[in-house]
Amino acid sequence: MVREILIVFAALFCEAGEARTETAQKAVHLGNLIFTDDVLFTVSARSALQCASQCLSVKGCLTFTYTQPSSQSTSCRGHTSVMTSDSTNQTAPGSSFYSFACDSSNLQTEFVLYQNARIRHTNLYVVNRPTLDECQAACITEPQCRSVDYNPTTLHCNVQDVTPLDEPDKWQLGGHDYDYYQRACA
Ligand SMILES: *[C@@H]1O[C@H](CO)[C@@H](O)[C@H](O)[C@H]1NC(C)=O
């Protein structure tokens, strides 16, 4: 199966005054459909970007479909899971499916920094007292690695296979010495 994915836009995720940039990717092979699995909300939206912002503002929203307003369907539908070719669906012309979940094949070697942020208790493993470069290098060699929490004082390095979109309740801003680095997604 050809899985054509396009980068469409970045949207802001705001929590406790901090902003995160996330990229949603359009899965062309899931076009002209809406899905009934794991629906978190259905609202109207004026654009795919507005629908993306809505998804990022609702805890647990990982994917969404945006349907052109000319269609009968509600235009913005958020989901807690990634849809596949087995997902329960209905035909809805003008719909596009977008995902904030990054495919491992799209993960980059660059990181985006979020200061005084971390994800609690979701480590793949801990690296002992590395430099920041060594901590990030450990992540890059791990195909599942999405992010690291790094404490520049204690040199703690937590290698993680999740982002705050996967673990919204474990995302912690402030009150600790960690910085959060998320692998960029092409
Ligand atoms: C849509 O649903 C049909 C049957 O209901 C299924 O055969 C098909 O694989 C589904 N397509 C996607 C992209 O989920």
Q: How many CB atoms lie within 10 A of CB 64?
A: 27
The neighbouring-strand residues paired with 185 are: 107
Instruction: Tell me the average pLDDT of the chain.
Output: 87
DSSP-based three-state secondary structure for 8? strand
Is pLDDT of 6 > 60? no
Is pLDDT of 173 > 70? yes
What residue's CA is closest to ligand 1, atom 7?
Answer: 86
CA of 32 to the centre of ligand 1 (A): 12
CA angle 33, 37, 48 (to 5 degrees): 50
Q: Quick one: average pLDDT of 18-22?
A: 70
The set of protein residues with a Cβ atom below 6 angstroms from ligand 1 is 30, 33, 85, 87, 89
Which has the closest alpha carbon to 24: 107, 108, 100?
Answer: 100
Is pLDDT of 21 > 80? no
Query: What pTM was estimated for this model as a whole?
Result: 0.80
Q: Quick one: average pLDDT of 102-125?
A: 89
